[in-house]
Amino acid sequence: MDPMLTIAVRAARAAGDLIVRYTDRIDSLTISSKGRNDFVSEVDRQAELEIVNVLRKAYPSHAFLAEEGGRHGLPKGEFTWVIDPLDGTTNFLHGFPHFAVSIALLHKGRIECGVIYDPMRQELFTAKRGAGATLQSRRLRVTPQKTFKGALLGTGFPFKDQRHNDAYFGMFRELMKDTAGIRRAGSAALDLAWVACGRLDGFWEIGLMPWDMAAGVLLILEAGGIVTDFEGGDKFLETGNILTANPRLHVLMEETIRPHVTDALRHRPLLSEKHDEKDRPGQQ
């Protein structure tokens, strides 16, 4: 395995083990709110520290954009690790066993490696640019689903920022009409990993952050899928609006979603003010 990927896997497993150790002590955790419906616990913070410690030991000169560390903007430096130590915090805090650790490595802004680890199922997803994506060492491929009939889609509700509800539910209504079902499982990183491994045929969500998406995007690209913003462009890391599926289904999803895109959605800022540096302790 690529040396950087090996280190990322080590970091993801260490964080995943830590998270699992806390699953039977959730009631005793200190939980704070970062904003509307946006919670953070000491487990998120400890898991992030664990990851950063492993990565920094191996790569002391690399930069970090980690959710709980709060760096602002997409860094353009040589190497940057983009980390979500616990994707699906709300699930975790409710004992709903669906969450993951997500770690990606960017080189000059391009995603080179991605690791998503589901510690409850002990499923490890990895991707290396140009070398494919795997689940437990098995090569991944997106589904061949060509039509909405029979398709299973994933999504995330815009529960933190409800300004785009009309646009979102317009998309939802149309996509619900002809598909076999739509799932909202509560971990965007796992949603993307599940598109890459064919458990979902497609996925869309408004307002994700780079750490929710980076590793999953590479998994899907390496599994033969398409990832764009809602209008077929490449601004998903900037706008947080992501649309992904196999190439045939992606065309259909984009045609359905595009008419609901508003100017406000198109020009969503990269990182919202609540993720600004000044609000965050423990920057890395």
DSSP conformation letters of the chain: --HHHHHHHHHHHHHHHHHHHTTT-GGG--EEEEETTEEEEHHHHHHHHHHHHHHHHH-TT-EEEETTT---S---SSEEEEEEEEE-HHHHHTT----EEEEEEEETTEEEEEEEEETTTTEEEEEETTTEEEETTEEP------SSTT-EEEE----S-GGGHHHHHHHHHHHHHHSSEEE--S-HHHHHHHHHTTSSSEEEESS--HHHHHHHHHHHHHTT-EEE-TTSSS-HHHH--EEEE-HHHHHHHHHHHGGG--HHHHT--SS-GGGSGGG-SS--
Q: Of these partners, ligand IPD, Ca ion, none, which one is at the site of residue 114 (CB under 5 to 8 Å by kind)?
A: none
Nearer to ligand IPD, 4 or 89 (CB): 89
Taking contact as CB under 5 A, which single stretch among the options 90-98, 128-136, 194-202, 212-220 is the one that binds Ca ion? 212-220
Residue type, 58: A
Among the listed residues 16, 49, 69, 84, the single contact to Ca ion using CB under 5 A: 84
Among the listed residues 48, 68, 112, 212, the single contact to ligand IPD using CB under 6 A: 212
Nearer to ligand IPD, 23 or 90 (CB): 90
Q: Of these partners, ligand IPD, Ca ion, none, which one is at the site of residue 187 (CB under 5 to 8 Å by kind)?
A: ligand IPD
Nearer to ligand IPD, 14 or 251 (CB): 14
Among the listed residues 46, 179, 187, 241, the single contact to ligand IPD using CB under 6 A: 187
CB of 39 to ligand IPD, least distance (A): 8
CB of 277 to ligand IPD, least distance (A): 18
x-or-dash string of contact with ligand IPD, 99-138, rule CB under 6 A: ----------------------------------------
Among the listed residues 69, 114, 119, 156, the single contact to ligand IPD using CB under 6 A: 156
Please report whether residue 87 would count as binding Ca ion according to CB under 5 A. Answer: yes
Please give the residue ranges that form the binding site for ligand IPD (CB under 6 A): 84, 87-90, 156, 186-188, 205, 208, 212
